[in-house]
A and B are shown apart, each in its own frame.
Chain A
């Protein structure tokens, strides 16, 4: 079998690949508005959702995307599989290889698992989120959503706010935003900021100071365990300093776009009013997710003869 393209992180994509995914996603988003939302592009292809971490939304999004393209989808989740019996990732990879699937979409709680899978498999590997490392389809759907809202993104400013240190969404997202020509600001208390952020990222510990110049405010989910790790004293204190609420939103530009990868902790990193306000593009992100994942699957699996189109 010929070596196919993979999507492990945003760095795998050249600028023209990025453009191509976004354009393809746009045409699929039109398909998704039709009464009959299915196209035959990947008929006869088999795609496996290999999920080692619970994630209803990402798994469903990939499943819907693959089915809209007429691919067969198998779901292999940690709770319902041999993972509990302790089968290693390598043995699972060898099993999937022997079954002759066309693509594996992997979600894993630790960094690097997709990279290992690529070493052991000779089929397309798509990273659906690995540990703190990367979440490239989230970054792509975020770009798609921003482009729909903002048009040209060149020179626009985005602030990622919250647990930057542990966030694969921010790691991949910042790279994608940079590739799209945006200015990137990371806002977090020093304890949730990575030890070394790339040069192109501006670091701030004051959300209030950054808000007025943002075109996009990207709120990250905060996990309660971080309090046990002494990253901050209490959720209440965190919310006072870093929650996006109505008061803070008032200081933002009128057309600001508010985003969140979900699932939200309403009342912690984002207030309910803001989550439901017209600024919020959070449900648009979910819709974009299906179109973008269709585009990724279509381009990587070739949609017929000729093999993968991407790098």
Chain B
């Protein structure tokens, strides 16, 4: 790294949600760190990125991705997934433990963490299982995962809710002993079983079984009660219904230590977008009504939602290209997140740029309890140069075929967008440069 020449990012608009600053300046990167900030930094002897008109922000953090390793390396690997992260502007991600075998013990999480570190791509933080084998019966060794070199601090049986309220209560209590957080996948199987799309007009018209909003809301209500009682840190994954958000808003107003995330697909698409039984729209929780989408956007603005997370879920094409009911749930999301969110929310004037970037950086870091030097802290002299350079104002077309992820199940493929990631810097190195910006792919 020491051999890298200094890199001058000139004339950028530096937007830093950690400090709440938004100003035009130059930024000098040297030895993997931000060495100087200011106006008119001299260029001689340095590599220069002319960032006139670009936005520079801290690298994003995606706290909800599925990297499929170990077990389904045909769908994604740490390598392809972490490269996809960089392509999407994410310099760090948190991966969910619903792999095969599940990430439910210290040895395995440590192995994965070390393997990811060696790749030198995006940073990986592992979410460990709450229960052994994700079976929902007995607690996994969460304390040992926390003490391991993977330093696991968030736990989830994501993909399944924890049905047993008593077990959920114990999990919340237990992790509060070492400052852990439980990430709830709020879904009551008794209410969702067999469901394919949101229950309502669309499920009726398509002849598919419905997943009622209640399946989520019943669990959100239960988990909020349990979190209130135990005082433990609860994070609610991929909220999709208006009533879930109302409950979270109310709980936060009482001072409960609860956080919530929303996905780009739930923020941009509704059940009405499901066309011709195209399984690319099959996600869990399902795409909801346009009213739910409106509420979710409102919740970004008013702080009910703390983070945007993609729930990146790559699937083999032959598994998605089949009957709706037989196809798995999930979309890939890391490489389309910023372009789509910028276009649909910021460009349309619904959300300030600062807030969008906040939801992709500071918000998720707070959810996970991550702090510099692991992640975050903002852009200042001496900080690690994990940065993203964003371009806006022109029109591009989302092309899932060009993704670094192995997954092609992207509902935004072919969509016109007005923003993109031009460069991602990891440890001061240009780890991704967009087409026409000196490269394509991860360098």
Contact = CB atoms under 8 A, between A and B. Distances in A.
B207 A134 contact: yes
Contact of A195 (B203, B276, B325, B326): B203
Interface string B184-221: 00000000000000011101101111101000000000
Given A195-B200, A195-B210, A110 B325 contact: yes
Contact of B276 (A89, A110, A115): A115
17 contacts: A88-B318, A89-B322, A90-B321, A110-B323, A110-B325, A111-B324, A112-B207, A112-B325, A116-B276, A116-B277, A132-B208, A133-B206, A134-B207, A171-B204, A195-B210, A197-B204, A198-B204
Interface of A: 88-90, 108, 110-113, 115-116, 119, 130-134, 168, 171, 194-198
A111 B277 contact: yes
Contacts of A196: 200-201, 203-204
Nearest to A171: B207
A131 to B, nearest CB: 5
B290 to A, nearest CB: 14
B326 A194 contact: no
A88 B324 contact: no
Nearest to B203: A195
Interface in B206-249: 206-210, 212
Contacts of A197: 204
Given A111-B208, A133-B208, A195-B204, 18 more contacts: A88-B318, A89-B322, A90-B322, A110-B324, A111-B277, A111-B325, A112-B206, A112-B207, A112-B208, A119-B276, A131-B207, A132-B207, A133-B207, A168-B207, A171-B204, A194-B204, A195-B203, A197-B204
Contacts of B276: 112, 115-116, 119
Main secondary structure of the interface of B (DSSP, over half): loop
A195 B210 CA distance: 9
A273 B325 CA distance: 39
B286 to A, nearest CB: 13
Nearest to B196: A111
A9 to B, nearest CB: 9
Contacts of B203: 194-196
Nearest to B212: A195
Which of A119, A130, A131, A197 lies at the interface centre, i.e. has the most chain B CB atoms within 10 A of its CB?
A: A131
B204 A112 contact: no
Interface of B: 199-201, 203-204, 206-210, 212, 276-277, 318, 321-326
A198 B277 CA distance: 20
Closest 10 CB pairs of A and B: A133-B207, A112-B277, A111-B207, A132-B207, A110-B325, A196-B201, A194-B204, A112-B324, A110-B323, A195-B199
A132 B195 CA distance: 13
Contact of A116 (B209, B210, B318, B323): B323
Given A115-B277, A196-B201, A131 B325 contact: yes
A170 B4 CA distance: 70
Which of A89, A90, A132 lies at the interface centre, i.e. has the most chain B CB atoms within 10 A of its CB?
A: A132
A90 B323 CA distance: 9
A110 B326 contact: yes
A153 to B, nearest CB: 24
Nearest to A110: B325
A119 B322 CA distance: 11
Contacts of B277: 111-112, 115-116
A195 B203 CA distance: 8
A203 to B, nearest CB: 12
Contacts of B207: 111-112, 130-134, 168, 171
A220 to B, nearest CB: 14
A122 to B, nearest CB: 16
Contacts of A113: 323
B322 A111 contact: no
A190 to B, nearest CB: 14
Contacts of B208: 111-112, 131-133
Nearest to A168: B207
A134 B203 CA distance: 13
A10 to B, nearest CB: 12
Contacts of B325: 110-112, 131
Nearest to A52: B323
Which of B199, B201, B204, B322 lies at the interface centre, i.e. has the most chain A CB atoms within 10 A of its CB?
A: B204
Nearest to A196: B201
Contacts of A90: 321-322
Contacts of B322: 88-90, 116
Contacts of B323: 89, 108, 110, 112-113, 116
Contacts of A115: 276-277
Nearest to B190: A230
B192 to A, nearest CB: 13
Which of A88, A111, A119, A134 lies at the interface centre, i.e. has the most chain B CB atoms within 10 A of its CB?
A: A111
Contacts of B326: 110
Nearest to B324: A112
Contacts of A112: 206-208, 276-277, 323-325
B276 to A, nearest CB: 5
Contacts of A171: 204, 207
A78 B160 CA distance: 33
Nearest to A167: B207
A88 B321 CA distance: 9
Contacts of B209: 132
A138 B208 CA distance: 19
A134 B205 CA distance: 9
A115 B325 CA distance: 13
A130 B276 CA distance: 13
Contacts of A119: 276
Contacts of B201: 196
B287 to A, nearest CB: 16
A115 B324 CA distance: 10
Contacts of B200: 195-196
